[in-house]
Amino acid sequence: MTSEEQRTDAASRTPAVLVVHGPNLNLLGEREPEVYGRTTLRDIDAALAALGRELGLAVETFQSNSEGAIVDRIQAARGRIDALIINPAAYTHTSVAIRDVILAIGAPCIEVHLSNVYKREPMRHHSTIADIVVGRIMGFGADGYLIALRAARNLAGAAGGAERK
């Protein structure tokens, strides 16, 4: 492929975004609805897929209650995604492994929380990834993911797409 063809190829391919949901977010809709709202994870993922189609993004979503599975999934996306959106849930406050894998893959990352963690217990005020993400969106409930996807679209556009490895 000539360099001109490579440029055209990169410009024409659909930017990819991975959305990762951490532990207990599979229970959204039932779990502490006064804190997290009544929208289910299935509804959030469907809304992300629909907005992704509108924005011209390939959106993959993944939920796990296990730190290692989250690390494995993000590693598998290395070189294949243009942006990462993550709500690490409780691992936000503890996980060095998730911080390290975000640094390892090098894709721009947006941190999302349904609740405004600063209105809650002090243990939730610390995030192991706050200083390595592009930005943090919190306190808007399920809408926060859609705000993040719009931001991810702009990041993917600004970067001209990831160089897939």
Q: How many residues does the chain have?
A: 165
- DSSP codes joined into one string, 97-129: HHHHHHHHH---EEEEESS-GGGS-GGGS--SS
Q: How far is the CB of 103 from ligand DQA (least distance, A)?
A: 20
Instruction: Work out whether 87 is an interface residue with ligand DQA (CB under 6 A).
Output: yes
Instruction: Work out whether 94 is an interface residue with ligand DQA (CB under 6 A).
Output: no
148 φ, ψ to 5°?
A: -65, -40
29 φ, ψ to 5°?
A: 100, -35
Instruction: Work out whether 21 is an interface residue with ligand DQA (CB under 6 A).
Output: no
Cβ closest to ligand DQA, residue 40 vs residue 157: 40
Binder of ligand DQA out of 48, 85, 114, 149 (CB under 6 A):
114
Instruction: Work out whether 115 is an interface residue with ligand DQA (CB under 6 A).
Output: yes
Contacting residues toward ligand DQA, per CB under 6 A: 24, 87, 89-90, 92, 113-115, 117, 124
